[in-house]
Structure 1
Amino acid sequence: MLNMTDIMETITMIQDENLDIRTITMGISLLDCCDSDIDKSCEKVYNKIYNYAKDLVKTGEDIEKKYGIPIVNKRISVTPIAMLVGASGGDPVQYAKTLDRAAKDVGVNFIGGFSALVHKGFSPGDKKLIESIPRALSETDFVCSSVNIGSTKAGINMDAVKLMGGIVKAAAEETKDRQCIGAAKLVVFCNAPEDNPFMAGAFHGPGEPDCVLNVGVSGPGVVRAALAKMPDDADLTEVADMIKKTAFKITRMGQLVGTEASKRLGVPFGIIDLSLAPTPAIGDSVAHILEEIGLEQCGTHGTTAALAMLNDAVKKGGVMASSNVGGLSGAFIPVTEDAGMIDAARAGSLSIEKLEAMTAVCSVGLDMIVIPGDTTPETISAIIADEAAIGMVNSKTTAVRVIPAVGLKEGEELDFGGLLGNGPVMKLHSKSPAKMINRGGRIPAPLQSLKN
């Protein structure tokens, strides 16, 4: 039973602590839209997305009004488009433009799934789609792209890693007149989940139902505010317990919204992704949580330990509030989207090496990091390989979303505005990994993949 204290606490979280539902994302299978004629296939794709998602935005807005809970984004994820390209043999960009038109017509913020799953090799449509990504992202507004290049079971496809270094660089070049936004809408994964509601990496996995609704909650500000009320001498066990209790409250709200939206739209409720997703707004930062725990600034020694505790406590608290937890679930550390991370990167406290260490214990990986515009494709590939290795060996999702800032050098800043934020160009090593990257082949799966 809800009591007045619970209600007032939730109102405070929303009004003063930036609590929101970050996204409701409708996943739609397009497998039945395959056709040897790409024009017919695209027509089926548009019609299916429109028919399922035409009421998604209105439903989200109605729930916002009913409960007073902000739902920041309404999004769509679809079957990896490379699967359709393999059947039609046409130009993948035609699919991207169809997705973009459907997204605009139903009113969502983003549509994800211009994707390929190549962790064990390339199937007929994969390489064709991957090579079209820079053009697809430059000629559309709302389409997001992802490529899974490795997994714990399969190892790392280094041919795909090599290819993706050039694709990331080309995506930035193609959109250099728009703050290199193409690279900000492209994620390279290891162990990509099939039910992730967050962009830019969302796609609707082949094992998912025909249509499903997934919810991504947020709330870094709520966690930080709860910790700020604790005495400075509270031990870390007490701190972890407070994070668990707060994550429970945040996730419970997501469960309410997901259940209601599912019922209204007549589609199954999939999962809650209970990740702490920051924004550039002051007071909505994962870095500030780490500083509230006791670090002078995010990035200093102790950051990885504090983040590991935060991530674990968020999962333990959130999983008690819902039986349908999935996606990424934990704490995100996107540099340009987090006010505390931005400050730490500007001050030099936060380096790409420290971020890489942090990715071993958080939800995703190297996310929204601005790098020098003259970074070589081989260096980008090596960054991807390093992150994939962390994910592969630790049986967790890792990802890379780096933005080569064309024309900018270390210390200068790129500004996307809005949710994607802004941040300084971060320093990278100058020594070349080209010989290793150009070897290609596969890094074999680790011994821990043999679990049967």
Structure 2
Amino acid sequence: MINILEVEETNRMVSDENLDVRTITIGISLFDCIDSDLDKLNENIYKKITTVAKDLVPVGDKIEKEFGIPIVHKRISVTPIAMIGAAACHSPKDYVTIAKTLDKAAKKVGVNFLGGYSAIVSKGMTTQDKMLIESIPEALSSTDFVCSSVNVGSTKTGINMDAVRLLGQIVKDTALATEENDSLGCAKLVVFCNAPDDNPFMAGAFHGVSEADAIINVGVSGPGVVKTALSHVRGESFEVLCETIKKTAFKITRVGQAVAKEASRMLHIPFGIIDLSLAPTPAVGDSVADILEEIGVEKAGAPGTTAALALLNDQVKKGGIMASSYVGGLSGAFIPVSEDQGMIDSVEAGALTIEKLEAMTCVCSVGLDMIAIPGDTKATTISGIIADEMAIGMVNQKTTAVRLIPVIGKTVGDSVEFGGLLGHAPIMPVNQFDCQDFVNRKGRIPAPIHSFKN
């Protein structure tokens, strides 16, 4: 039973500590939309999405009012489009028509983002996979709400370096295609290793092939709540610190569980998972970097930062798993630079570099996220950064991701404003030494020895 003290505590978390349900996401299978006729395929996709998700936004708004908890976004994820379009698409431009259909459907039902313009190429690329990847710059520059992801590696298969090399150029081309909007298209493109099937967080969400016809996934966030809780145990032992994070994560997850169950009931769609991720926003007081500083480092990036992040990530997961039987997705702590004011402050203070962020991704939930870099960065350098991050995921049997934004016309010392949840960011320097001879080797990096388990 929930008592009045817990209600008051939750209200305080919402009003004073930036607690929110970051997203209710409907995952929709599009396998039954497949048709060899492109026009018919697009018609089927539009009809399926606008039928299944027609009530998502009003239901989300109703739950928000009834529970008194902000639900920041309502989103849709769909089956990877490289598969859905395979029978009908004969060129990258054919795939772009599907992106425009997805965007039209997203606007019709009123969601904030739609994910699943995706391909899974961790071991090799089909002709259709390659066409979708080649279509990404035009697809993201000609739509508003569509997000794209490509899974290029896994612990079981290794890293598809042909795809990594191609995506370095695709990131550059997407930046150029959206140059007038400070290369914003790259904020809607993420490259994964070990991508989960059930991720409600953009830009990497897609509806996995192992999922049901439709599913409700909820993403919960609350860095401000954790930071406030830790401020009350300042100077205490690691045991007290860990217990405080776990208990706080438990409370946050219970809020998400309540929202997810109610959304599932009202929409008549099965509940999937709670993704308990400390996903920051640009708002002051809603920062993962602030938590790390509360734990004891002067600035995020200082010595001890990686250990503090490892502790935080682990305790968040332990607390969340106790609160729900179905915790999944990316659950843990995110470190996107542009979306976290504390991270931005650390970059500007010189405490945080891309190399330190890469080290931190060994223990956080995702990877190098929302990092703005000089617009003249070479495609092979971007591929090299992607390869490094994929290797961390592959060897450590965890999800890692890269969302780099080479902002055309800007260089180190400049900053860029994306707006909304995407925030703003200083342009970060990248290593200037070359890696093209490595990147241009063909084939794939094989799976590590510890992947051979069956």
Q: TM-score range by the shorter chain?
A: over 0.9
The amino acid across from 1:305 in the alignment is: A
User: Alignment partner of 2:72: what SS?
Assistant: strand
Q: Give 1:65-214 correspondences, 5 Å limit.
A: 65-90=65-90, 91-214=94-217
CA distance in 2, matches of 1:3, 1:192: 39
* Alignment map for 1:23-422 (pairs within 5 Å): 23-90=23-90, 91-230=94-233, 232-422=234-424
Superimposed CA distance per residue, residues 89-139 of structure 1 (whole angstroms, 9 cap, x where no aligned partner): 241000000000000000000000000000010123100000000000000
Report the Cα offset of residue 179 of structure 1: 1.5
Alpha-carbon distance in structure 2 between the residues aligned to 1:89 and 1:225? 52
Instruction: Please state how far the C-alpha of 1:440 moved relative to its aligned partner.
Output: 2.1
**Which runs of 5 or more residues in structure 1 are unaligned?**
none
Deviation at 1:85, TM superposition (A): 2.1
Amino acid at match of 1:188: V
In structure 1, C-alpha distance between the alignment counterparts of 2:120 and 2:303, rounded to whole Å: 36
Structure 2 partner of 1:445 = 447
In structure 1, C-alpha distance between the alignment counterparts of 2:34 and 2:7, rounded to whole Å: 48
d(CA) in 2 for partners of 1:57, 1:65: 12
2 CA distance for matches of 1:430 and 1:123?
Answer: 33
SS of the residue 1:86 aligns to: coil
* SS in structure 1 of the partner of residue 440 of structure 2: helix
* C-alpha RMSD of the superposition: 0.6
Cα distance in structure 1, aligned partners of 2:110 and 2:49: 12
Ranges in structure 2 where 5+ consecutive residues have no aligned partner: none
The answer to whether the Cα contact below 8 Å between 1:86 and 1:123 also exists between their aligned partners in 2 is no
Q: Aligned partners of 2:343 and 2:239: how far apart in 1?
A: 25
Instruction: Tell me the number of residue pairs that the alignment of Structure 1 and Structure 2 aligns.
Output: 451
The answer to whether the 8 Å contact 1:390/1:398 transfers is yes
For the 8 Å contact 1:179–1:405, the answer to whether it is kept is yes
SS at match of 1:87: coil
How far apart, in 2, do the equivalents of 1:301 and 1:217 lie?
A: 29
Q: Partner letter of residue 31 of structure 2?
A: L
TM-aligned CA deviation for residue 4 of structure 1: 1.8
TM-score normalised by the chain length of structure 2 = 0.99
The Cα shift of 1:3 comes to 1.7
CA contact (8 A) 1:34 1:84 kept: yes
Alpha-carbon separation, structure 2, partners of 1:423 and 1:233: 32
Residue 19 of structure 1 corresponds to: 19
Cα pair 1:84 1:125 within 8 Å, conserved: no
How far, CA to CA, are the matches of 2:370 and 2:44 in structure 1?
Answer: 34
Deviation at 1:143, TM superposition (A): 0.3
**1:320 CA drift (Å):** 0.6
Structure 2 CA distance for aligned equivalents of residues 178 and 220 of structure 1: 29
Letter in 1 for 2:211: E
TM-score, structure 1 as length reference? 0.99
1:397, distance to aligned residue in structure 2 (A): 0.2
Q: Which amino acid aligns with 2:166?
A: L
Partners of 1:72 and 1:365 in 2: how far apart? 23
SS at match of 1:336: coil
Distance in 2, matches of 1:312 and 1:237, equals: 13
- State the distance in 2 between where 1:64 and 1:440 align: 51
Q: CA deviation at 1:147?
A: 0.2
SS in 2 for 1:439: coil
Specify the alignment match of 2:8 in structure 1.
8
The 8 Å contact of residues 276 and 286 in structure 1, kept in 2 or not, is answered as: yes
* Whole-angstrom CA distance in 1 between matches of 2:361 and 2:89: 38
What amino acid is aligned across from residue 175 of structure 1 in structure 2? T
Q: In the TM superposition, what whole-angstrom CA distance separates every residue of 1:345-381 from its partner, at most 9, and x where no partner exists? A: 1111000000000000000000000011000000000
What is the deviation of 1:426?
Answer: 0.5
Q: How many angstroms does 1:209 deviate by? A: 0.5
Comparing 44-53 with 233-242, greater Cα deviation is found at 233-242
1:84 Cα offset (Å): 1.8
**Partners in 1 of 2:72 and 2:419 — Cα distance?**
16
2: CA distance, partners of 1:173 / 1:349:
30
Quote the Cα distance in structure 2 between the aligned partners of 1:99 and 1:442. 32
Aligned-partner SS, 1:320: helix
Local SS of the residue matching 2:277: coil
CA distance in 2, matches of 1:233, 1:311: 20
1:135 aligned counterpart, secondary structure: helix
The CA distance in 1 between the partners of 2:238 and 2:373, in whole Å, is 35
